[in-house]
Structure 1
Amino acid sequence: MVNEERLHHMIKMAIFDTDQGKECKPMTQYARKDYVSLRMLGSFVSGTIGFALILVTWGIYSMNQLMENLNAMDIQELLTSVLVKYIVFMIAYMAITYFVYNRRYTKGRREVKKYYGNLKKLNQLYEREDKLKMSENKDWE
């Protein structure tokens, strides 16, 4: 005889394992601070590479203008301008990264708690069944 409640919990757990299990695995391995810090470190590297690509693309696009004004251009002012833009870009990028991954961690932990709740209920159902079987076996003796 199939226990429908137990089957319901098992289906929920299987859906979680196949859909969200891989995404939520880091939430069980890391504390919030560690998880967000690790993601921010990766975002710092990718943001720096992205800014460099944007800068190179702009440099290629503006090559004619840069070559014409090379002698009249203040290189120190140009570098300062690029550095300020880089800092503003990275602050915005890192702030977005912090909020996104902090929220993902919160949602992931919530989903993991639901999973463990289903696991606990499933375990209780098995224990209840075992107790019933044991009491039935004692009645036969």
Structure 2
Amino acid sequence: MLSEQRVMHMTKMAMIEDKQGRKLGPAIHYRKRDYLSLCTLGGVFLGTLIYAALYAGLIVLLASTLVVNIHLVGLILGILLGLVLYILYMYYYLRMVRRHAAKRYDEGVTLLRHLRKDYRELREMYQEEDLSKIPEGWD
């Protein structure tokens, strides 16, 4: 016999898992420190690619508009300025990536706690139903 309350509870849990199941991935598969390190590593690669594309575009733009001779000192200063800007960019970009990853991980952990509570309630419903099936003289 199906309990209507149990079916409604299972339906609610299934809808939560279906809608927000992607948020559970980091919380289930990784510890927070490992997940943040993984996101930071990906952020280093992606941030470097973005910065290199922007810097190359700036160089091409400057080279196409300034047709004057560039001296060695100007070239070295441009490279140093590019490195300083890269370090600043990566610092802020990686802070943003880690903050976003930590928020995503914490949301997954919160959702996982709620689901664990729901599963505990479901298990209690099954146990109550099992206890109600035992005949009177058998306990």
| TM-score, length basis structure 2 | 0.89
Unpaired segments of 5 or more residues in structure 1?
Answer: none
Q: Which residue of 2 aligns with 1:12?
A: 12
CA distance in 2, matches of 1:87, 1:13: 46
Q: Distance in 1 between matches of 2:135 and 2:51?
A: 70
Contact 1:6 1:122 in 2 (8 A): yes
Deviates more, 1:11-20 or 1:34-43: 11-20
Distance 1:82 1:66 in 2: 18
Q: Find the counterpart in structure 1 of residue 36 from structure 2.
A: 36
1:64-117 deviation per Cα after TM superposition (whole angstroms, max 9, x unaligned):
244424237522111110000000000000011111111111111000111111
CA RMSD of aligned residues (A): 2.0
Is the Cα–Cα contact under 8 Å of residues 32 and 105 in structure 1 kept in the other structure? Answer: yes
Q: Is the CA contact (8 Å cut-off) linking 1:9 and 1:119 kept in structure 2?
A: no
Q: Which runs of 4+ in 1 moved over 6 A?
A: none
SS of the residue 2:134 aligns to: helix
**In structure 2, C-alpha distance between the alignment counterparts of 1:66 and 1:135, rounded to whole Å:** 94
Alignment deviations for residues 23-64 of structure 1 (CA, whole Å, 9 cap, x no partner)? 312211111111111111111110000001111221222222
Q: Distance in 1 between matches of 2:71 and 2:64?
A: 13
- State the TM-score, normalizing by the size of structure 1: 0.88
CA contact (8 A) 1:40 1:94 kept: yes
Check the 8 A contact 2:23/2:107 in 1, yes or no.
no
> Where does residue 133 of structure 2 map in the other structure?
133
Give the C-alpha shift of residue 4 in structure 1.
Answer: 3.0
Report the CA distance shift for 1:136/1:50 in structure 2 as closer, same or farther (over 3 A): farther
Paired residues, what number? Answer: 139
What runs of 5+ residues in structure 2 fail to find an aligned partner? none
Counterpart for residue 53 of structure 1:
53
